[in-house]
Structure 1
């Protein structure tokens, strides 16, 4: 059951936003699938998310990845193994805790992720470049509010 406001127009607008977020999430999943295929034909979308996060962080471990991506550790481990076998991730012992492995992207991974991100950013730029900077900042702020909102 959803809470209604005193203004039906606000309720309709919020329903429209929620509907469009669903469309955006579906499109994001499609883009992750395409991006994974651009990196390597056998890479799954989850592997792309893991690899792009490793590239963004420059070095990390499986526990951090599992937390950031809200994935179970066994799924992250499987994806990391695939990425290592494909030559996209290197693993070495953590200097502070030898029980942990530090995961770092290879130069090939950095280059491929960079190319995919540039294509994605160019798409977003084409769609939004005519908007006023204030409007884009407000939009980003609304997305942050939604992302940071606590569960019911």
Structure 2
């Protein structure tokens, strides 16, 4: 006579652990954004860092695109852009294809500062992940993509 041993399903427990780890990761990310903002300019808040980082990545953009991208109120984006201009990190120029439209462009100082921050942050990530096999990293990236699409 063979006895069947019932193994409890611990999927819910594992999902709860993922949720807890994501919460801790989000807290860490907020800290990194704050530190990154300070490295770009001592008076730059984290929200301003998110915007200047996007502007440098996109090359040129406008306030409406940024508001949609970050799901931020347009008035908040406008205030942040004004501050970025005052700090010498962003310039507003006429759009090359439609002179009636104004676009945002990062200044050379902003480009250099943001690139330095990105390099340091990428190195930190590389240091943490370098010991993991490529297949594991690709699987992790796929899981993150699934979470981002949810």
Q: TM-score, normalised by structure 2?
A: 0.91
2:68 maps to what in 1?
67
Alignment partner of 1:96 out of 82, 93, 98: 98
Q: Report the equivalent of 1:122.
A: 123
Which whole-Å CA distance do the structure 1 matches of 2:143 and 2:16 have between them? 15
Structure 1 residue 25 displacement after superposition: 0.4
The match for 1:30 is: 31
Q: CA deviation at 1:85?
A: 1.1
Structure-1 residue corresponding to 2:86: 85
User: What is the 5 A alignment of 1:49-68?
Assistant: 49-68=50-69
| Normalised TM-score (structure 1) | 0.90
Superposition misfits of 4+ residues, deviation over 6 angstroms? none
**Alpha-carbon shift at residue 93 of structure 1 (Å):** 2.2
Q: CA deviation at 1:8?
A: 3.4
Q: Does 2:113 correspond to 1:112? A: yes
CA distance in 1, matches of 2:90, 2:41: 13
**Following the alignment from structure 1 to structure 2, what is the Cα–Cα distance between the partners of residues 104 and 132?**
39
Distance 1:91 1:97 in 2: 12
Q: Secondary structure at the match of 2:44?
A: coil
> Which entry has the higher C-alpha Rg, 1 or 2?
2
Distance 1:112 1:8 in 2: 49
| CA RMSD, Structure 1 to Structure 2 (Å) | 1.1
Deviation sequence 1:12-32 (CA, Å, 0-9, x none): 111100110000000000010
Unaligned stretches of 5+ in structure 1? 1-6
Q: Structure 2, unaligned stretches of length 5 or more?
A: 1-7
User: d(CA) in 1 for partners of 2:9 and 2:112?
Assistant: 49
Number of residue-to-residue matches in the alignment: 142
Partner of 2:140: 139
